[in-house]
Amino acid sequence: MIDINLIRTNPDLVKENIKKKFQDKKLVLVDEVKKFDEEAKELKNKADKLRSDRNTLSDEIGALMKQKKTAEANAIKEKVAKINDNIKKYEDKLDKLQIEIKKRMMVIPNIMDSTVPIGKDDSENVEVKRFGEAKVPNFEVPYNADILESFGGLDKESAGRTTGNGFYYLMGEAARLHSAMLGYARDFMIDKGFTYVIPPFMIRKDVVDGVMSFEEMEAMMYKIEGEDLYLIGTSEHSMIGRFKGQILKESELPITLTSYSPCFRKEVGAHGIEERGLYRVHQFEKQEMIAICKPEESMEWYNKLCKYTIELFRSLDIPVRQLECCSGDLADLKVKSCDVEAWSPRQQKFFEVGSCSTLGDAQARRLGIRVKGEKGNYFPHTLNNTVLATPRALIAFLENNINADGSINIPKVLRPYMGGKTKIEVKK
């Protein structure tokens, strides 16, 4: 949510930002907010004037009562009662206007950074840089489900019976590898100075509203029937929600946290869930990183967070690239975002394994997170990035570390988490 002062002082900037995101249908919202805000200001002035009049009359009542002029005091009390009725009417109208203003402010997109490339959708995202050589081996790389099944690591058929499409059982060495990658990602971030957290895996509606747009919520989140709770789609939501309504000390910034959680997503609009593979699923596990910082440090942390994910994937012998998200692919709360994509030797193309974003003060403003600074309170900036999400990272790992005989090489950094193993062999 942007600062309403932007609409008051520079509505053209807000409208131009909407146009760059190709959301012209939202242009009318800016004019409506401006109109409602002016009406609200007028109502507030009227109510304030009546309160001033009421205070003056109240003083008169006190003086008259001291003089034992009860009749005159009672007459003024009737005037005060009418004033109170009118104040209540103004306040009721003001409350309704504030609801209408907030409803529109919640869907007006955040102001993008000036460096965000302009484009209609993800097909116009811009490659920034590649890291590592994207190799294609001289043998055919099997499909991820076939690799896992070759060493008895995957059972989607049973998951279909117990739960349905989009779920899976990982077993044996596959399950161990999955946990090893998450354990390594956790320790990697701890070594970067981040505090490790295991957050709640469910959050309330007011937290959901604070961290994401309504469209994202509808497409992603599972609602717990009969309760004000949603299963998280990413731990960033409960991690940022932890600070809801809090006033932080400036000396505590930056706050840097890394969290583990399972994640649950409806994947609405995903054009179906894969029957065999693990690329698009309803349940996965993730190591996340977040930062809460001073506004002037936001871009510095954005670059740091992205760099950490790239460094982690390269340590696992996985080539990656950084892809700058264009304006049309940028979620409404985001100021700037990039995807980290891993190389798929089987498909001979890159695919998304993580996303790094700075949201400016949008989440802090929605959730009422403030910082007590020397010159008064202000809203901090919030950032998030995927450290490692598996099974997508698992797919990238398997494809980039497979040998011609089907065995999987275990990079040096993962061996302590795999009992010292250097390879996973095909099951005879």
For the stretch 76-116, pLDDT in tens is 888 989 999 999 999 999 999 999 999 999 999 999 999 99
Note the Cα 379 to chain centre separation in Å. 17
Q: Is it the case that residue 427 has pLDDT exceeding 90?
A: no
- Report residue 186 as tokens: 């956790």
Point out which residues pair with 223 in neighbouring strands: 230
Output the average pLDDT for the chain: 93
pLDDT digits (tens, 9 = 90+) for 282-319: 999 999 999 999 999 999 999 999 999 999 999 999 99
Rounded CA gap, 387 and 189, in Å? 8
> What average pLDDT does range 330-345 have in this prediction?
96
* Strand, coil or helix: 271: coil
Among candidates 385, 288, 402, 386, which has minimal Cα distance to 344? 402
Q: Is it the case that residue 172 has pLDDT exceeding 60?
A: yes
pLDDT of residue 166: 86
Please report which confidence band the pLDDT of residue 70 belongs to, taking 50, 70 and 90 as the band edges.
confident
Strand bridging mode 255-264 / 202-203: unpaired
pLDDT of residue 276: 67
Of the given ranges (50-64, 176-190, 398-412), which has the lowest mean pLDDT? 50-64
Q: State the Cα angle at 264 between 165 and 175, rounded to 5°.
A: 70
In 51-194, the DSSP E strands lie at 126-131, 154-155, 169-170
pLDDT digits (tens, 9 = 90+) for 113-168: 999 999 999 999 999 999 999 999 999 999 999 999 999 999 999 998 999 888 99
Contact 143, 129 (CB under 8 A): no
> What average pLDDT does range 387-402 have in this prediction?
96
pLDDT of residue 275: 57
Where do the domains of the chain lie? 4-105, 122-424
Element (H, E) at 29: helix 27-66
Residues 6+ apart with CB under 8 A from 104: 29, 32, 33, 36
Per the rule left: phi > 0, alpha: psi between -120 and 50, beta: everything else, 273 is beta
Greatest CA separation found in the chain?
Answer: 106
pLDDT of residue 403: 96
Name the percent of the chain lying above pLDDT 90.
Answer: 84
- Report residue 406 as tokens: 């089907």
pLDDT of residue 268: 58
CA atoms lying within 13 Å on the CB side of residue 60: 16
Residues 6+ apart with CB under 8 A from 98: 40
pTM: 0.90
pLDDT of residue 67: 87
Q: Is the dihedral of CA 379, 229, 267, 145 positive or negative?
A: positive
DSSP characters for 366-404? HHT-EEEETTEEEPPEEEEEEEEEETHHHHHHHHHSB-T
pLDDT digits (tens, 9 = 90+) for 245-288: 999 999 999 999 999 999 999 875 554 555 567 888 899 999 99
Give CATH for domain 4-105: 1.10.287.40
Point out which residues pair with 299 in neighbouring strands: none
Element (H, E) at 304: helix 298-315
Please report which confidence band the pLDDT of residue 1 belongs to, taking 50, 70 and 90 as the band edges.
confident
Which amino acid makes up residue 328? G
pLDDT of residue 65: 84
State yes or no: cis peptide before 254, omega within 30 of 0.
yes
Contact 255, 291 (CB under 8 A): yes
122-424 is classed CATH 3.40.50.2300: no
Note the Cα 26 to chain centre separation in Å. 22
Strand bridging mode 370-373 / 247-249: parallel
Rounded CA gap, 21 and 326, in Å? 9
